[in-house]
Structure 1
Amino acid sequence: MKAIFQIILSSFRAAMVSLIPYLFFRSAWIIFIVVNNNYSLVPYEDIATIDILLGKIFPVLLTCTLAYHLSFHFFDERLLVTSLAITMFLVFSGYITKTDGGLVISDAFVLDDAILIPVLVCLGYFLVNRYMKYKLIRTRVVNPILEGAINGMMPHLLVFLVIGAVYFLLEQTSIHSVIEMIAGWPVWIQAYFHTLIIHVIWLTGVHGAAAYYTFFDSSFVSEIYVSNMSFSMFFDVFVIYGGAGSTWALIIAIMLFSNMKFARTLAKISIPFAIINVNELLVFGLPIIFNPILAIPFVLVPMVNHLFAQVYLSLVDVIVIRESIEWVTPSLLDSYLVTGGNVKAILLQVLIISLDVMLYMPFVRKYSNTSNDSLLNTLIRKLRFSYAVPVQKEVSFLGMHNELVEQQDKLNKSLKDILAGELRIYYQPQFESKTLQMIGVESLLRLESDQSLNSPDFIRHFENAKIGEYIDKWVVDTVESDVKTQPVFRNFALKVSLNLNVDSLGDKQFIKDLINKMSGYPVCFEITETIYSQNVELVSESVRMLREAGFLVAIDDFGTGYSSLSMLSALDADVIKLDRLFLKQANTVKGKELYRSMISTLKRLGFVVVSEGIETEEELEFVQSCNADVLQGYYFSRAINVDELEQYFNDEEALGHAPQQHFTITS
């Protein structure tokens, strides 16, 4: 259930991000309308028609984008699901109604349906596909697109009928008695209920005011509430500033207290729209919706404003001289106009905005400090990079809006784990096959925390977020320091192997810096076969640069990829490291012959062959009989720190003789 909620949440955020261009244009259009009302640049009728169309199209766009992003997590036939969601929205939401003049777009509130229907369609489609095994076409005798369309007909029909039945039953129920009960409450209770519900509804992505006025009686808003002003004027002028949630205060808090570049940029872009109380860019772009941290002040701040302003206006003599004012009138100017320039009213707004900034401050800081880019900046400072991290990497976090929330949480947790512990470089010895003399080491990353040493499982989360280069930079710096300062490297010129990820290989400046930094040292750079085979063009240029600079290049985990044999002749590398998987399978006649043939073929092609994962004496003897060049594995040693490496190298058994038993070093 939690995973499904995360998928829905992630998809909704992605849909809102996809709609930012529309929201930006809609906000800009509102500004144009305000200007046009004063200067009559374009005939009012044309402006009004376009404005209506822009407003009416939003529910359809939301249905389409939400269904599309939801379908990414469940299906291959995404367009089928999206088209079904749009069809059901048009049929069941009341968006289109029949009149004597034909079909027309209604004024009914349908944003709730624009969210609910895509969710129901995707979940229904998923359940039908999972439990209904029958397919009209089971074999690929037709075009795959046609096959998907035909097999999608039955799920289409079932989902349509079930959700249609649900909507029919909902229409038969009535909440009229509840609405009547709320309408009978005292005006002050309805007023606070109005402020609360509007902002809670906003957190679901639905326009709070539009939803409230659709479902609840709103006649009380025209009644005198405090002093001589109606509740409607009181709410617009003294409760919300810059839009729902008093987002003027949020903008100021972000600019003052947030270190998130994305949030600060979005806040700056939102300023012109906040001036006329339009805040959709911030609500959907940051986002505030479904945000467990910013949701609290978004609801709390208007409630505090409501109470503070009500008490203030009850104690201080402030009289309004206008019955109404345009909702797009900027804050401070609106209080000036409705009170005829009463300084006490303007002071009230200044006090409330200042208070709101203070209320938003701890939540903005918490949101910034727990965000991935803030944690990454802290990590950068902790790792003390000796050369700059490319600024353009910061934008990679924007793409995370389109990923599962679970992936964001994993990256967040990985960053916290690293900050709570210490990254260490350990070295696993490598040996010449015939003499068993130690000739090199492979550098391996470890995370030390709470007196335990862990493998770097976090690496894949960094790579998914396109920031694996950060770790590579730290590894390079640390290995370079060890090679320069540790006697075991200075005195015996041990070859050091370093692993590189695809982000580093794709950064030509990183490769140039790497060559300059490691020039003169016996270094071999390792690239996994999967990275090489899936990014041939990207990797080839970097490999060429490294080899021309005199470094060796190794293909790690060879044999685990899908294209090993087909790419053998094209591999631009010096060393091939055979994965332990093949050695484990060498307990049969076929397995032994395969392993022996692989080594023989690789050597004939001119590669140096490293056999990884040797754990027993039997495996050692077998690999030696296959004429592998270099050996590595737990039989000789686990990965050890640089101090243990010095001790290990000086051990008489490691200077030319194989251990007589499984070699173990205690920490």
Structure 2
Amino acid sequence: MRLTNNLLHLSLREAFLDIVPYYIISSIGILLIDVFNIDKQNANVVVLALLNITDIFIYVFPLFLTICIAHHLANNYHVHRFIIIGVSLLVFISLAWTIDENQNFHYEKNMTLYALIIPIICMYSYLFLSKISFLQIIKEDLVSKQLKVVVNSIIPVLIIYIFFILILPYLSLFVQTILFDVFHDTVESLSLMAKSFIQLVVTHVVWWLTGIHGTHVYMIFADTSYLNEEIFKNLTADVFFFAFLVTGGAGATLSLLIAIVLKSRNEYDRKIAYISLPFAVFNINEILLFGLPLIMNLTFVIPFLLVPIFNFAMSYMFFSYFPIPESTYTISWTTPVFLSGYFLGNGQTFIFVLLQLINLVVGVFIYYPFLKKYEEDKSLNQDAKKLRDKFGIKEEINTMNELKFLKTQAEIIQEQSDTHKMVDELISGDLLLYYQPKIDVTQNRCYGFEALLRFSKPDGTITGPYFISQIEKAGFAYVIDLWVIKKVYEDLNRWSIQGFNPKISINLSPESISDTYIVDKIIKRLKGKNIEIEILERTFAEEHSVFMNNIMKLKRNGFVISVDDFGTGFSSLQYLHTLPANIIKLDKALLDNTKTIEGKTLYRNISKMCLDLNYILIAEGIETQEDKEFVRSVGINIIQGFYFSQAIPFEKVKDYCNNF
């Protein structure tokens, strides 16, 4: 799991995608009213219904958004869905709706922002409160699980509702006031052009981050009355915006749509583009924004901002040299591109159409490399496509891909849920570092110690690092590695004060060794100490330039490199003689096989080969006198395992070493 795939991100994207059909239906009403000038008075029943749905959607959209976000958050976090939907709606309606003396409902102007924020706040508040034991009415498993969950949700739901009804309006007003004051003081004195540029950037960032119209949010805390002023003679700021800066809608996405039609090889993306085209011509781009999706898509954030900014700069320079005549035409935000440019020239010149064409074409070229990257990330392997078509199994492959997609989504959600639980467990307890002795049996002394992770649960129980595989899957291994480096550094300093300087080996993940920052941190903290770096055998077989360069960098700075768990991975003889390592640790799995003649032969020959190649050999997993005698018979002198000792805490290491 990576940051961009966390459960909140996933839930928001799923929620906005669910609303796409209603955006499309609502857009039809906008086209009928603003573009085709349909008269409500003379419209038939079907057309009238389409006209009305646009007005209705304005009011129900925040409710839809609240329900969708609450639903997907609850589903992805494995929480009872109606509990989160219910409390989110209660808080939203209480804050966003007001009732006048005539019992009529009115929406607050920041209702859409409430719809985004409230389900998120309610979800995480419920997750926190539901874990507090004294708030749980039923603690025993005497009733069904569902009844227990529902009953135990009563107090958390009440706390969430009362707290946010009391606090959120004041907090919202405070934030709104602060933002308004900041913008008023900062922006008010700026030129009309500067105000327009700031609005362009802020509204696009809001659009991309939240999926909510940036202008709607911007108007909450900023004065946008300047949009009716002339930014150039005979050109108001709002016409400048929708006719030249955001052609096709926010992000100037008509350029992206054209890039998809011309260059995309992905059938789904092309279908979305064709469906979006009739609406994008009239600057309505929600279908494309949520269909691809662009919202919160890291691949498209740069062009989504860059294209409108380029259009701004290009149009500003253009209008500085070409004056605009007075026009008798009315131009609205839904006036199609080129037509608006022709109207702006009062039907007498195509010079402004040429500017729109230049902006549009340059936008296509800006979007294209990002579209290519986006498609590379999501497309099927091209060789697999060729084989699919060659052998006539297109339908079977498509079905398999659909099932694989659904399975992958389920696995992602489950993995993220498991990671969330694991992180909660780690936060509730403490990480510890224990040390397992390595014994040099020829000199009957401690050769050194391996630093091993342990976890102390809240009840005081000490367990092994059962969370390591989940940590690695989640992409958080570097966090543990950095903690180990810090802890070993502290322990070595404490021992040094006592005149004790043991050899310590630490295990690091491949990701950490491939991270130059972490390697530099190791060198800075542990250079000059008696340190061995243990790296899994499989990692060397997957070597790449950064990894190998960092290994050599560690060696140049005096660190000893050890190959851990040798024999459980690839054990390829072709690279054994080229390993940039000093030590090889034979895994316990090889020793377990020595109960047979073949297993003994394998262990003996691997040991001889490694010794002939001048590696220091360490035998892992020595648990019995028989194990000890066998590894000694094959020439191994350094032994690690329960036969001598389990891993021991810091306080016992010095005494163990001195008294061995």
Deviation at 1:130, TM superposition (A): 2.6
Give the one of 269, 272, 276 matched to 1:270: 276
* Gap change, CA 1:157 and 1:315, over 3 Å in 2: same
Aligned residue type for 1:19: I
Deviation at 1:56, TM superposition (A): 0.9
Contact 2:29/2:53, CA 8 A, preserved across alignment: no
Give the one of 246, 261, 267 matched to 1:261: 267
Give the one of 74, 78, 91 matched to 2:77: 74
Give the one of 221, 226, 232 matched to 2:232: 226
Distance 2:103 2:400 in 1: 54
**1:345-494 superposed matches below 5 A:** 345-371=352-378, 373-374=379-380, 376-377=381-382, 388=393, 390-395=397-402, 399=406, 404=412, 451-452=541-542
Give the corresponding residue for 1:139.
Answer: 140
Is the counterpart of residue 84 in structure 1 residue 87 in structure 2? yes
Is the counterpart of residue 157 in structure 1 residue 158 in structure 2? yes
RMSD: 4.0
* Gap change, CA 1:332 and 1:384, over 3 Å in 2: closer
Contact 1:221/1:232, CA 8 A, preserved across alignment: yes
Show CA shifts across 1:549-578 (max 9, x none).
Answer: xxxxxxxxxxxxxxxxxxxxxxxxxxxxxx
Give the one of 169, 189, 194 matched to 1:184: 189
Show CA shifts across 1:526-549 (max 9, x none).
Answer: xxxxxxxxxxxxxxxxxxxxxxxx
Distance 1:359 1:120 in 2: 37
Contact 2:135/2:155, CA 8 A, preserved across alignment: no
Contact 1:275/1:330, CA 8 A, preserved across alignment: yes
**1:120-135 superposed matches below 5 A:** 120-132=121-133, 134-135=135-136
Aligned residue type for 2:295: I
* Gap change, CA 1:132 and 1:332, over 3 Å in 2: farther
Deviation at 1:451, TM superposition (A): 3.3
* Gap change, CA 1:99 and 1:383, over 3 Å in 2: closer
**1:160-171 superposed matches below 5 A:** 160-171=161-172
Give the corresponding residue for 2:565.
Answer: none
* Gap change, CA 1:386 and 1:108, over 3 Å in 2: same
Give the corresponding residue for 2:242.
Answer: 236
Larger deviation: 384-393 or 350-359?
384-393
* Gap change, CA 1:136 and 1:347, over 3 Å in 2: same
What is the total number of aligned residue pairs between the two structures? Answer: 436
Give the corresponding residue for 2:306.
Answer: 300
Is the counterpart of residue 115 in structure 1 residue 104 in structure 2? no
Deviation at 1:191, TM superposition (A): 1.0
Deviation at 1:42, TM superposition (A): 3.4
Give the one of 321, 328, 337 matched to 1:331: 337
Aligned residue type for 1:120: I
Contact 1:239/1:306, CA 8 A, preserved across alignment: yes
SS at match of 2:304: helix
Contact 2:299/2:370, CA 8 A, preserved across alignment: yes
Contact 1:14/1:402, CA 8 A, preserved across alignment: no
Give the corresponding residue for 2:24.
Answer: 24
Give the one of 197, 206, 226 matched to 1:201: 206
Distance 2:162 2:120 in 1: 16
Give the corresponding residue for 2:320.
Answer: 314
Deviation at 1:287, TM superposition (A): 1.2
Deviation at 1:401, TM superposition (A): 6.9
Show CA shifts across 1:368-426 (max 9, x none).
Answer: 1223x34x3466669999774523445457756787489799899xxxx9xxxxxxxxx
Distance 2:382 2:601 in 1: 39
Deviation at 1:297, TM superposition (A): 0.8
Distance 1:452 1:4 in 2: 26
Contact 1:89/1:117, CA 8 A, preserved across alignment: yes
Distance 1:148 1:163 in 2: 22
* Gap change, CA 1:25 and 1:393, over 3 Å in 2: farther
Is the counterpart of residue 7 in structure 1 residue 36 in structure 2? no
Contact 1:128/1:155, CA 8 A, preserved across alignment: yes
Give the one of 200, 211, 216 matched to 1:210: 216
Contact 2:27/2:54, CA 8 A, preserved across alignment: no
SS at match of 1:72: helix
Larger deviation: 310-319 or 386-395?
386-395
Aligned residue type for 2:105: V
Give the one of 281, 284, 287 matched to 1:281: 287
Distance 1:224 1:384 in 2: 58
Distance 2:305 2:4 in 1: 26
* Gap change, CA 1:635 and 1:297, over 3 Å in 2: farther
Aligned residue type for 2:70: A
Contact 2:593/2:600, CA 8 A, preserved across alignment: yes
Deviation at 1:258, TM superposition (A): 3.0
User: Percent of aligned positions with the same letter in both sequences?
Assistant: 25
Larger deviation: 283-292 or 126-135?
126-135
SS at match of 1:130: coil
Distance 2:199 2:410 in 1: 34
Contact 1:255/1:267, CA 8 A, preserved across alignment: yes
Aligned residue type for 1:276: F
* Gap change, CA 1:80 and 1:379, over 3 Å in 2: same
SS at match of 1:126: helix
Aligned residue type for 2:372: R
TM-score (normalised: structure 2): 0.59
* Gap change, CA 1:232 and 1:138, over 3 Å in 2: same
Contact 2:11/2:73, CA 8 A, preserved across alignment: yes
Unaligned stretches of 5+ residues in structure 2: 417-471, 476-509, 511-536, 544-587, 604-629, 632-660
* Gap change, CA 1:635 and 1:352, over 3 Å in 2: farther
